[in-house]
Amino acid sequence: MKSSIARAALLGLAWAALLSGCAGKTETMSYYSLHVPQASAAAPAGDAVSVSVGPVTLPDVLKQTRIATGGENGQYRLAEYHRWTGEVDRDMARALAERLSQSLGTENVSLFPWNRQSRFRVLVDVVAMGGSLGREATLTARWTLLDTAGEGAVVRRTDAVQPLPDAEHSSWVAAQQHNVEKLADEIAAAIKAAGN
């Protein structure tokens, strides 16, 4: 009787060890943001330009907390364990505002709803944000720069592409952060040109 109990116990331990080996490594949830806080903008000389950013609109598939990659032929892949920290449209607006503040040397940058005192208002419509893991991260956006001083509007499109060093989601997000910086730099250049 004791030997059959001992055999059953050993068999149970062997079975548990086998199952734990098959289970492998468990995935942990990772969270990402497009907004990377930066150092304070340089003190402006004289009257600083003022800018309001937003709204930023996104396709519905990109509004989810799960990160969506792909986009070729309208097909996306949603990551189960890689998610955004919050609302992607607000996160992108913050990232754009930070970069504009740096590029323009001003702290007079606000988020939608617009500050009525802002001379410039930036509206962004993200057409696509995708790319393939291990290959590239892409961002396409149409944006409008409104000059409240009565100088009219500038309407442009930015296409940004960053190659990826590996197939990690963290690399894809870092590349998208660079794409958002490129978008902000093009908007900043238009603001500087309009301000002259």
Helix (H, G, I), strand (E, B) or coil at 139: strand
Q: Are 125 and 142 in contact (CB under 8 A)?
A: yes
Rounded CA separation 100/41 (Å):
9
How far is residue 27's CA from residue 43's CA, in Å, rounded to a whole number?
A: 45
Return the pLDDT at 161. 97
Distance of CA 13 to the CA centre of its chain: 47
By three-state DSSP, how is residue 79 classified? strand
155, two tokens: 């309407």
Q: Per-residue DSSP letters for 118-136?
A: -SEEEEEEEEEEEB-TTTE
Each residue's pLDDT tens digit in the chain (196 positions)?
A: 556 665 655 555 556 555 555 455 677 999 999 988 766 555 555 557 899 999 999 999 999 999 999 988 888 999 999 999 999 999 999 999 999 999 999 999 999 887 788 899 999 999 999 999 999 999 999 999 999 887 789 999 999 999 999 999 999 999 999 999 999 999 999 999 987 6
pLDDT, residue 138, reads: 96
Residue type, 96: L
Please give the domain boundaries of the chain with CATH numbers for all domains. Answer: 2-195 (3.40.50.10610)
Beta strands (DSSP E) in the chain are 30-32, 51-57, 66-70, 76-84, 109-111, 120-130, 136-147, 152-163
Coarse DSSP helix, strand, coil percentages of the chain, rounded to the nearest 5 percent: 35, 30, 30
Task: Output the CA angle 107-174-68, nearest 5 degrees.
Answer: 110
pTM, 2 dp: 0.82
Amino acid identity, residue 50?
S
Cα separation of 152 and 50, whole Å? 16
